[in-house]
Amino acid sequence: MKRKNPYSLIDVNDIDIAQLSQPHIGQAAVVGVDVAKHVHVACVVWPDRRFERPWRINSPKQVGLFIGKLLELRMHCPLKVAMESSGTYGDALRQALGDAGIEVVRVSAKAVKDQAETFDGVPSQHDGKDAAIVGTLCLGGHGVPWPLKVGSRNDQAMRYWVRKLDTASRIKQVWCGKLESMLARHWPEASELLEQSGATLLNAMSHWGDPRKMAADPQTQQMLAGFGGHYLAEAKIGRVLESARGTIGVRMNDWAVQEMREIAEAILQERKRIGVCRRKLKTLSEDYPAIRSQAAAVGLITACVLWMCLGDPCNYGSAGAYRKAMGLNLKERSSGLHKGKLSLSKRGARLARKWLYFSALRWMKEPGVKLWMERKKQRD
């Protein structure tokens, strides 16, 4: 007879393992776990695909209790734990399971979603049902081993510097947006002469903070030459000074000057952090032949990001599998007369796609690639 509400949760503290396991002594069990930030939900699934009422586990304070219940259950029934990939929320649980010697299996979140209606005839998803589906899919062989792997010391260092570089890049982007708005108000002509995030403009604004003050300083020409080095010709310095002297921008008060200086200084600081990260990654990558090979095509930093997000490309069975792991495979949703558009699946790590996009932008500046792009636009 079917239970009235098979997905109602029961606190893990109230579970009687001896009573639960008594009818199933010796049967292999799968414990499906739906992971969330504060509450994990676990469901024991038996070989005949029947499942127990799901357990509620408050994370992190009841994780130890949950592991104890699993170890007690394992004394009566061999078991494994199945989980969905869920960012970092499940990492502490995976580590605890590994420390206890309990096998962990990963089940595809897409497979769980697709199974929602066929599982019980109702197209709904909630924690208790998802945990039961995860366990059932694992029982049917839809899962891969998923122990928590820390990686080598070099891999950990690379992860640290890649994440630090990406954070610095995003912070720099925020400050660059503020600088753009300030220049548009107080020195709109600057963008036609100097690169917004370049060393010359940033050092000038960090030092003077006001284009008119810069133009009035007798030492400006010499200082600009020092900021720009051999990239800044004397004729261009003259045009910059002329622009600063005759700008139509709004006149700046003391607070606006201070804000301009602070923004420019913040960008310079982030540029320094990014430079340190790049040098560290260059040193680390010397021990990775795969990264050096990829760097020739996509750039060193992008190659390091791909290694951090996807691992060794040699571990993939095909280029298509590697591309799919990046989330760059195409998907389509068409039915009957409706013809859907192709779009990227965007699965996996965001950073891989972000830095590949930057790499593609650099490639588009190459004459051959630029010509190909123009021809493709005409064809499409």
112-166 pLDDT tens trace: 888 888 888 888 888 899 999 999 999 999 989 999 888 899 999 999 999 999 9
Check whether 2 has a pLDDT greater than 90.
Answer: no
Distance CA 178, CA 201 (A): 14
373 and 308 inside one domain: yes
Residues 159 and 189 occupy one common structural domain: yes
Q: Given pLDDT bands bounded at 50, 70 and 90, which one contains residue 1?
A: very low
Residue 61, pLDDT score: 94
Q: Is residue 228 part of a domain?
A: yes
Q: How many domains does the chain have?
A: 3
* Strand intervals (E) in 208-357: 330-331, 343-344
One domain for residues 53 and 161: no
| Predicted pLDDT at 188 | 95
On whether residue 337 sits in a domain, the answer given is no
Its domain, for residue 304, covers 288-327+345-379
More confident position, 11 or 121: 11
Confidence of residue 4 (pLDDT cuts 50, 70, 90): low
- pLDDT per residue as tens digits for the range 61-108: 999 999 999 999 999 999 999 998 877 899 999 999 999 999 999 998
Mark whether 82 and 172 lie in a shared domain.
Answer: no
Are residue 187 and residue 209 in the same domain, yes or no? yes
Residues 24 and 102 in one domain: yes
Give a yes or no: residue 296 inside a domain.
yes
For residues 137 and 82, the answer to whether their CB atoms sit within 8 Å is: yes
Per-residue pLDDT tens for 281-336?
Answer: 999 999 999 999 999 999 999 999 999 999 999 999 999 999 988 988 888 777 67
Residues 20 and 135 in one domain: yes
263: Cα within 13 Å, side-chain hemisphere: 23
- CATH number at 88 reads 3.30.420.140
266 in the same domain as 159: yes
What's the CATH number where 249 sits? 1.10.287.4070
270-289 exposure pattern, b = at least 16 Cβ within 10 A, e = fewer: bbebbeebeebbeebbeebe
pTM: 0.83
User: If pLDDT is split at 50, 70 and 90, which confidence band does 338 have?
Assistant: low
- The reply to whether 224 and 247 lie within a common domain is yes
pLDDT for 100 equals: 95
- Cβ-based neighbours of 180, under 8 Å, separated by 6 or more: 191, 196
Write down the pLDDT at residue 68.
Answer: 96
Task: Say whether both 203 and 272 belong to one domain.
Answer: yes
Instruction: Indicate whether 260 and 210 sit together in one domain.
Output: yes
